[in-house]
Amino acid sequence: MSGRLSANGIVLIIATALCSGIGITTLKAGLAADPIRLGLFGAGAVIYGAGILGGIALIGKYALSIAYPIVVGSSLAVVAVISATALAEPVTPLKLAGTALIVIGVAVLVRPTPGLDESRSPDRSSAATRRDDRD
């Protein structure tokens, strides 16, 4: 398991965020129709499901503390853009500020940290050794 995102990982993040955003927006559009449009709802469920599978692939390959916030943050930013454009939801200064903070947070997590090897997970023996050294 790695903490550093590869180019393929970044592509998967983008695809996952797009599937999640498009899928949930399509689900919403299907549910908002009167009567409910099952075809639109079903398409949204399939697309959103692809986003979930992409997220699972990412957390399986990368450190959970990095992959999960990136996937969720990216998806939230995509949903904000799509809901404003496709669903004509209002864009307020607070929504813009919140979305900007999400994008900044994702950018911070994507940047590699010099000297930090997140691919190594701490094992119990090294933690026990450090405790013993303090005693």
Q: What predicted TM-score, i.e. pTM, was given to this entire model? A: 0.74
Residue whose tokens read 């000297």: 115
Q: What is the pLDDT of residues 60-117, one digit of tens each?
A: 998 888 888 888 888 988 999 999 998 889 999 999 999 999 989 888 887 766 655 5
Q: What is the pLDDT of residues 8-40, one digit of tens each?
A: 888 999 999 999 999 999 999 999 888 999 999
Is residue 5 within 8 Å of residue 62, measured between CB atoms?
yes
User: Looking at residue 3, what is its pLDDT?
Assistant: 60
Is residue 97 within 8 Å of residue 39, measured between CB atoms?
no
Question: Which amino acid would we find at residue 128?
Answer: A
Task: Between 40 and 5, name the one with better pLDDT.
Answer: 40
